[in-house]
Structure 1
Amino acid sequence: MEQSALLLASSLNAGTVLAIAALGLLINEKAGVVNLGAEGMMLCAALAGFATVVATGSQTLGLLAGMLAGLLLAALFGLLVIWLNTNQYATGLALSLFGAGFSAFAGTGYVQAKLPEQGPFAVPLLSDLPWVGPALFRHHPLVYGALALVLLLVWWLYRTRSGLILRSVGESPESAHALGYPVRRIRLGAVLAGGALCGLAGAYVSTYYTPLWVEGMIAGKGWIALALTTFATWRPARILLGAYLFGAVTMVQFHLQGQGINLPSQFLTMLPYLATILVLVLISRNPQWIRINMPASLGKPFYPGA
């Protein structure tokens, strides 16, 4: 029972990183913009958050610094793809490569640095309950914040006028422009919001999830978050469920190692990525289902003067 509680708790913790980043990418894609630079943004944000906590001792400032780093990189991406009409896929890949290289270069001085001790997180009274307490009520506030973010996005996207405008820009930017909506500014706002959330996820990794800095520590989580948007067919609640599923797959490898299962560690490390490939293969068997749910202008540039 204790092992199952710990496995559930670690799965929720691991899934939170993916959920926050994927929800940010969802906002981008709902506006018709594909950002393949999530991995690079999360790496730079992880470094910015870690360095800030080392300098100030404040985890809150570290998370804010990560959000700012993600926002600045997203602003650069938005300038290139929205105003200069560069290819979204190529620009995103370039951003990811830049983030990986820059964070490795700038983070050499922080490899041996240590963060100050963080107090344990617990919900009063509920955290003392048997099994349920350690499984559900001893998490960082961002774990619960991810749940709140999903509810907020569902309400905003499908119950508010501004959410409807964002979705209309993703479906038909020409029609939205004809109605007088500033399509480029709306897309830039979506890109900035997505970058800030990716930055928050990256900073959470380095300041709490694995409180250290090493080169490439995001380890593909940005790419998995990107795949989650397709896996969830661009629905916030499905993204959360998918994130927890991939979080559980990630944690199973450590659970199996702890149980003494005699399997090569390399195979266990591959499990999250094998699961990602398997899910994408299964989804691609029904392209019409993806086409119905996918924003119609996803990845397509918009020319106001056309």
Structure 2
Amino acid sequence: MSDFITLSLFASMLHLSIPVILPMLGGLLCERSGVVNIGLEGMMLGGAFGGVAFSYLTGNPWLGLAGAMSTGALAGGLLAVMSVSLRGDQVIGSTAINLIGAGLTAALVPIIWGIDGTTPSVPKVPTPPLPLVGDLPLIGPLLAEFSLIDIIAFGLVFLVWWVLMRTDMGLRLRACGESAVAADAAGIDVTRVRFIAVTLSGVLAALGGAYLSIVTLDLFQASMTQGRGFLALAAMVFGKWRVGPAFLVCLGFGLADAVALRAQIFTDDLPHDLLFALPYVLALVALATFVGRASGPADVGKPFRRA
């Protein structure tokens, strides 16, 4: 057991949770503003593809990361136009984002690279370990495996919480999700706030996809996100649309992934496919049992029409 539970297991948990944490933050911002977003999976795929494509075309992985964010802003902006500006059905609009993300990225791979499925290797974002942390007591050996990109990703958790709960901007955003009519009467531009929140959700989800494709790996593969966008939605709901609890749920999913990977080394008795399904089984059980009474912001999913 001591060989199984090690610092590297917890390091793997933190690394594997990042591609779920980032889209979770995006979905939380979007839904706290009053717009349903189940399109995180498609936005992640768009970000994963955009990161690889821009890294390949420019030879610069940092421009690839910027390209991924641009792709996410485009996907989020498209959803914002459909659901906020045109007041279309938000579930249908975000489902369309998922379909576009899965279909378009798979179709563009053979157009750009001339092969199906998986792209060639591209320059990936360098992730040198943090300097001067290995000698810190207790957490030093754990932080020694982390890079600046990882710290920024976890820093975004605090930033989103601080913006939502400690700033006027966050108060306006939450007001739009609880009662758009009351927010409008108080002088808040509901359409503008929601448009920005939906667009930002696309950027954060795309960063989660890019973390997979040009930080962890150096390529894009069709459907490489493997449902992490839906895990992010489950974490958001299980956390009752609050940053802290949802973040802990994401860590739980990361731990399940890390255990599944490590269990392959320690046992051959369990099928590997069953081990990899563990995070999704946990999400299904959680949603079917513990969060049956969970309710989101009062006006989530309701298009706003000024009287």
Give SS of 2:225's match.
Answer: coil
Q: Which residue of the partner structure matches residue 178 of structure 1?
A: 185
Cα distance change on mapping 1:264 and 1:152 into 2, 3 Å: same
Q: Alignment partner for residue 56 of structure 2, among 48, 54, 57?
A: 54
Q: Which residue of the partner structure matches residue 252 of structure 2?
A: 245
Q: List per-residue Cα deviations over 1:183-227 (Å, max 9, x = no partner).
A: 111100111111111111111110012322111101100111111
Would you say 1:28 and 2:35 are equivalent positions? no
More helix by share: 1
Q: Alignment partner for residue 232 of structure 1, among 239, 249, 257?
A: 239
Cα distance change on mapping 1:182 and 1:118 into 2, 3 Å: closer
Cα distance change on mapping 1:179 and 1:120 into 2, 3 Å: closer
1:259-270 aligned at under 5 Å gives the runs: 259-270=266-277
Distance, in Å, in 1 between the alignment partners of 2:243 and 2:137 is 31
Give SS of 2:31's match.
Answer: helix
What amino acid maps onto 2:266 in structure 1? Q
Would you say 1:148 and 2:150 are equivalent positions? no
Q: Alignment partner for residue 94 of structure 2, among 92, 109, 118?
A: 92
Q: Which residue of the partner structure matches residue 223 of structure 1?
A: 230
Q: Which residue of the partner structure matches residue 280 of structure 1?
A: 287
Distance, in Å, in 1 between the alignment partners of 2:252 and 2:58 is 35
Give SS of 2:277's match.
Answer: helix
- Confirm or deny: 8 A CA contact 2:49 2:220 kept in the other structure: yes
Would you say 1:9 and 2:16 are equivalent positions? no
CA RMSD of aligned residues (A): 1.9
Give SS of 2:142's match.
Answer: helix
Cα distance change on mapping 1:78 and 1:112 into 2, 3 Å: closer
What amino acid maps onto 2:104 in structure 1? F
Tell me the number of residue pairs that the alignment of Structure 1 and Structure 2 aligns: 300
Query: How much does 1:117 deviate?
Result: 6.5
Distance, in Å, in 2 between the alignment partners of 1:153 and 1:47 is 25
Distance, in Å, in 2 between the alignment partners of 1:279 and 1:204 is 26
Distance, in Å, in 2 between the alignment partners of 1:117 and 1:147 is 20
Would you say 1:210 and 2:217 are equivalent positions? yes
Long gaps (5+) in structure 2: none
Distance, in Å, in 2 between the alignment partners of 1:298 and 1:176 is 14
Q: Structure 2 length as normaliser, TM-score?
A: 0.92
Long gaps (5+) in structure 1: none
What amino acid maps onto 1:191 in structure 2? V
- Confirm or deny: 8 A CA contact 2:239 2:249 kept in the other structure: yes
Distance, in Å, in 1 between the alignment partners of 2:261 and 2:137 is 23
Distance, in Å, in 1 between the alignment partners of 2:287 and 2:195 is 28
Query: Once the two structures are aligned, what percentage of the paired residues are identical?
Result: 35
Cα distance change on mapping 1:131 and 1:210 into 2, 3 Å: farther
- Confirm or deny: 8 A CA contact 2:30 2:37 kept in the other structure: yes
What amino acid maps onto 1:298 in structure 2? V
- Confirm or deny: 8 A CA contact 1:54 1:113 kept in the other structure: no
Would you say 1:81 and 2:88 are equivalent positions? no
